[in-house]
Amino acid sequence: MSERWRVIMAPAARRDLKGLTPVGQARIREATESLSLDPYRVRLTKLKGVEDEWRLRVGDYRVRLGLDPNNRTIYVYSIRHRREAYR
């Protein structure tokens, strides 16, 4: 088994996570945990118009993130409800 990826949450993403219900928080944590195993096996969508930025769909929430394959690091930028995620 290969080495896990490190997940780093931006302060904005931590605030977004705190604002969710406990069930929502658990779902996001579970999704980021599966990302840390291998982000290329998870269904990520490349965001258009932004270089090297991806989206992970977790129910009604969207997790915006960046990948750094050289350092095996995932940067979580924000966690928003889908109706607010693209504004």
- Residue 12: which CATH number? 3.30.2310.20
pLDDT of res. 14: 97
Residue 24 lies in a domain: yes
Q: How many domains does the chain have?
A: 1
Residue 86 lies in a domain: no
Average pLDDT (5-20) is 96
Does the pLDDT value for residue 34 go beyond 80? Answer: yes
Is 4 in contact with 37 (CB distance < 8 Å)? Answer: yes
Residue 1 lies in a domain: no
Does the pLDDT value for residue 63 go beyond 70? Answer: yes
Does the pLDDT value for residue 20 go beyond 70? Answer: yes
pLDDT of res. 1: 52
Is 75 in contact with 64 (CB distance < 8 Å)? Answer: no
Residue 62 lies in a domain: yes
- pLDDT tens digit sequence for 64-84: 999 999 999 999 999 999 888
Residue 87 lies in a domain: no
Average pLDDT (40-63) is 91
Most confident listed range (31-35, 39-43, 74-78):
74-78
| The model's pTM | 0.89
